[in-house]
Amino acid sequence: MRISVVQMNAGEDKAANLAAAERLVKAAVREDRPDLVVLPEVWTCMGGGETTKRAAAEVLGEEGEAWRLLRDLARGHRIWLHGGSLLERDPREEKLFNTTVVFDRDGREVARYRKIHLFDITAPDGREYRESATFGRGREIVVYEAEGLKVGCSICYDVRFGELYRRLADRGAELLVVPAAFTLHTGKDHWEVLLRARAIETQCYLAAAAQWGPHRAGNEERWSYGHSLVVDPWGLVVARASEGEGFATARIDRARIAQVRSRIPVHAHRVLPG
C-alpha cells in the first residue's frame, strides 16, 4: 500500500481551504498514485475565534460540504481518504468536536474518531492554547481496516500519550495516523522525536500529515511547524515533506512490520507490573 501525507497552510477561509485540499489530493494522486491519502488536522478552518470555528463546523454527513468533498474525492479517484480532522458540530452537544472521518475507495464512510486529548497548554513563547474551551473530548479508540491493513486513529496532541498508541497496537494496528497542527515552538523540539518514538514502541508504521506556516488567531499570528512525514516500524523516516504546501509518499510494507516484530518481540515480552 502506498500512502501520501498532505501538508497544508489552512486559514480561516473554509472555501479556500477546501479548494486547496482538493488541489493537493489531486496532485498527490496524479504524481504518486497512492492507495491512501491523509490530510492534516483542522484543514477546513485553522485559526480564528470561536465564532469562525462554529461557522466552519459541520454536522457530518450529506449536508456537510467538507464531508461531501472527502467522499467525492475518495470515490472519484478510487482511493482511501483519511480526512485529517474536521470541525464537527453535533446537535446534541454544546461544544464542537475535532473529528477524523475516513472514506474507502467507493466513497463510503468507514471510520470516525473524535480527538481524545485536548491541547490546553501555555507554549514556551507564552501563548495560551485552550482547545477545551471550544471542543469536547472524544471517548472511543478507533481502528479500521483498509484492504487488510489495520489503521489506528489519533490527532495531534494525542501523540504525547503513548498509552493510546499501545492500545491501538493491542487492537491490531499496523499503521498509526497522526493528522496534526503542531506549534512551531513545540514542533521544532518534539515533533519528530515523538513520532519516531510511537513507531518504535508499537512497531507500526506512522503517517503524520501536518499544517505548516502562519495563520491568524484573533490579533496574533501563529505558526505551525509542518514537516509531514512517514516513519517505518524501526523508527526510520522514510518520507518527508518540505516546507510549504505539498505532500510526501511512502510504501507501507507489511513484511517490514513482521520483520521488526520478530527481531525485537516487545509485544510478547511486555510485562505490566502491579
**What pTM does this model have?**
0.96
pLDDT digits (tens, 9 = 90+) for 209-261: 999 999 988 788 989 999 999 999 999 999 999 899 999 999 999 999 999 99
CA distance 47 to 27: 25
Strand 80-82 versus strand 97-103 pairing type: antiparallel
- The pLDDT value recorded for residue 274 is 80
pLDDT digits (tens, 9 = 90+) for 29-78: 999 999 999 999 999 999 988 999 999 999 999 999 999 999 999 999 99
pLDDT digits (tens, 9 = 90+) for 151-185: 999 999 999 999 999 999 999 999 999 999 999 98
Decide: residue 272, CB within 10 A, 0-12 exposed, 13-18 middle, 19+ buried: exposed
CA distance 228 to 217: 22
Q: Say which of 41, 88, 174, 245 is annotated catalytic.
A: 41
Q: Say which of 12, 14, 115, 245 is annotated catalytic.
A: 115
Closest listed residue to residue 176, CA positions, set 146, 160, 199: 199
| Placement of cell 456537510 in the chain | 64
188 is annotated as an active-site residue: no
Distance (Å) of CA 234 to CA 191, 205, 223, 238 = 17, 8, 30, 10
153 is annotated as an active-site residue: no
CA distance 98 to 241: 24
Q: Say which of 156, 174, 204, 245 is annotated catalytic.
A: 156
All cell numbers assigned to 182: 503542531
156 is annotated as an active-site residue: yes
Tally of CB atoms within 10 A around 165: 23
The secondary structure of 196-212 as a DSSP string is HHHHHHHT-EEEE-BBE
CATH of span 2-269: 3.60.110.10
DSSP code, position 91 = T
Give, for 263, the enclosing helix (H) or strand (E).
helix 254-263
The answer on pLDDT for 268 being more than 90 is: no
